[in-house]
Structure 1
Amino acid sequence: MNKRTYTKKGLALALGLLLVLGLFSGCGEKPGAGEGESGLVKNITLQVMHRDESVKDFQLATDKETLRQALEEEGLIAGEESEFGMFVKTVDGETADDSKQEWWCLTKGGETWTSGVDSTEIADGDAFEFTLTTGY
């Protein structure tokens, strides 16, 4: 082999190493991620079924850990604090009417969800639904 062959192989090896390092540089936590933020972006879906039976879908990209954090960040929920965390009263600007026994039912992938928004950790690809429900 001549000197030129070694140079080409060295250049190819260096470029390959740079490519591998570049792929891994995007992995892991982002610098300065605060408490409750993993630094990893998760894409989640929220579907809201309103009183008038209209349906609105939201696609969210977030680095938050819990459903509450992600939905509050987008201004999609509000509620009252309780010993168990937030009791969601308002979703997508519509407030449940206690006098009509209305409440927001949270489901995940169509299945009844028994955890509150505070304790629901989110993962990439999760799908949640809030349905305005009448009757206790």
Structure 2
Amino acid sequence: MKKKLLIGCGALVLACLLAAVLYIQTRPETAEGAKTIDVVVVHGDGTEAAFQYQTDAEYLGEVLVENELVEGTESAYGLFITTVDGETADDSLQQWWCITRSGEMLSTGADQTPIADGEQYELTLTEGY
């Protein structure tokens, strides 16, 4: 019984190490230096607000927080955005802020999204999980 437990634990550790190596090799690259990015906020009523930022930050979350465009809560997974440009998502309506880059939904949160010069990001209040 102990032998099976040890083999199972060893396999789990090996799988975790493999996942970490895979993540490190495939994670998006960051760009150093000065960048200009555009951020468009699409509010719940359909109105839009456009912002342009010059920054040396490497990740989108840094820019949004530094410029006080967003508020949220920190978790083990990074920043969970709850408020953008003064509008707070309503959990009872299943609202959340969707982050896209040039219209394409991102698979990373704001804290894990590297930015590059000239990119455009959209923060859209979305309803329904």
TM-score scaled by structure 1?
0.70
The match for 2:77 among 70, 78, 84 is 84
Q: Give unpaired runs (5+ residues) of structure 1.
A: 1-37
The structure 1 segments of at least 4 consecutive aligned residues displaced by more than 4 Å after TM superposition are: none
Please give the secondary structure, in 2, of the residue aligned with 1:71.
helix
Please give the secondary structure, in 2, of the residue aligned with 1:122.
coil
1:66-106 C-alpha deviation (Å, 9 max, x unpaired): 10111111100111112110111111111100011000011
Distance in structure 2 (CA, Å) of the matches to 1:132 and 1:79: 14
The match for 2:108 among 105, 110, 115 is 115
Q: Which has the higher contact order (CA 8 A, sep 6+)?
A: 2
Largest Rg, 1 or 2: 1
The match for 1:105 among 98, 102, 105 is 98
The code of the aligned residue for 1:56 comes to: A
The match for 1:62 among 55, 76, 85 is 55
Shift of 1:39: 7.0
More helix by share: 2
Matched, 1:73 2:66: yes
Distance in structure 1 (CA, Å) of the matches to 2:113 and 2:123: 14
TM-score scaled by structure 2?
0.73
Q: RMSD in angstroms over aligned alpha carbons?
A: 1.2
Tell me the percent identity: 49
